[in-house]
Amino acid sequence: MSAAAPIVLLTDFGDSDWFVGSMKGVLLGISPESRVVDLCHQVAPGDIAAGSFILEAAFDSFPPGTVFCCVIDPGVGTERAVLVALANSQIVVAPDNGLLSGILDQHPEAGLYRASNASYFREMISDTFHGRDIFAPLAAHLARGIKASDCGTPFHQEPIRLPGPPPSFSDGHARGRVVYVDRFGNLITNLQLAALDHAFPGRATSHWKLRVKNVTLIGLSKSYGHARHGELLFYRGSTDRIEIAENMGNAALTLAVNTGDSVDLFV
């Protein structure tokens, strides 16, 4: 086995410029034994909420010790903190701008450090490319085995969280919102099945009603193929959240729904 941990990259840099390649060059220069995995580079520029969801959705798929290097950083060059988070035997390097919100929601016990030890940065630091000059070298050194505490000091203040209300539950009713739209136009909500099962134990899912905009859907489906071609449905998605889709279509376009829009579930 490799002596260095795998490194997972998440950015909004796309693949048409040199940015991701430059980061990989720095990573390999410090930790050549690390396997570098591209989680996603097609996040819309500056879309912290989408990046937070993608990170949370993929986080538990990787082996213990994995280092996540996350650069969706519209505040680059400002006084915003660079954080190292320890959660579920994984390590995440990310700016303190809300990108860690999903991970911290799922792992409130996570330990946080503010990266301030410049000996783990590149010698010359650009004001506009901290991904190459701070985040990548930090991630590489962590993959090589340095401790998070070597990177800086414990971060005791409350990290920045994404805005938006959490799901609410009342007698037979849950209100949530769309938190992500995937490339198929599927609408992923923040209504998690575990929370619904806890709030409404024993309620038959075949009688559930989901309302979004002026459309009401009846009955939790198993998967896309359990609906007719062009039919809308809702189901338990791979991240254990309620999702809304159109079989062989685009639910986001059909319903004119986007992130932040509310959904109501009646059980």
Domain hosting 51: range is 7-154
> Considering its fold, how many domains does the chain have in total?
2
pLDDT in tens, 72-102: 999 999 999 999 999 999 999 999 999 999 9
pLDDT in tens, 200-214: 998 889 999 999 999
Backbone angles phi, psi at 41, to 5 degrees: -125, 5
pLDDT for 204: 87
For residues 216 and 212, what is the distance between their CA atoms, to the nearest angstrom?
A: 7
For residues 119 and 11, what is the distance between their CA atoms, to the nearest angstrom?
A: 24
Residue 150, burial from CB neighbour count under 10 angstroms (0-12, 13-18, 19+) = middle
Alpha helix positions (H), the chain: 19-30, 48-59, 101-106, 130, 136-144, 148-151, 193-199, 251-255
Distance separating the N- and C-terminal Cα atoms of the chain: 49
Neighbours of 233 (CB within 10 A): 23
Helix axes 19-30, 136-144, angle to 10 degrees: 30
> Residue 37: CB partners within 8 Å, gap ≥ 6?
6, 7, 8, 9, 62
Task: Indicate whether 25 and 104 sit together in one domain.
Answer: yes
pTM of the predicted model as reported, rounded to 2 decimal places:
0.94
Task: Indicate whether 135 and 217 sit together in one domain.
Answer: no
Task: Indicate whether 25 and 47 sit together in one domain.
Answer: yes
- Asked whether residue 246 is assigned to any structural domain, the reply reads yes
Question: What is the average per-residue pLDDT within 236-259?
Answer: 97
Examine the fold and report which residue of 90, 123, 154 is the final residue of a domain before the chain moves on: 154
Question: What is the average per-residue pLDDT within 136-158?
Answer: 97
For residue 234, is pLDDT > 90?
A: yes
For residues 237 and 226, what is the distance between their CA atoms, to the nearest angstrom?
A: 14
Q: How far is CA 229 from CA 225, 246, 249, in A?
A: 8, 8, 8
Task: Indicate whether 184 and 258 sit together in one domain.
Answer: yes
11: helix, strand or coil: strand
Can you read off the two tokens belonging to residue 15? 């693949």
CATH of the domain at 194: 2.40.30.90
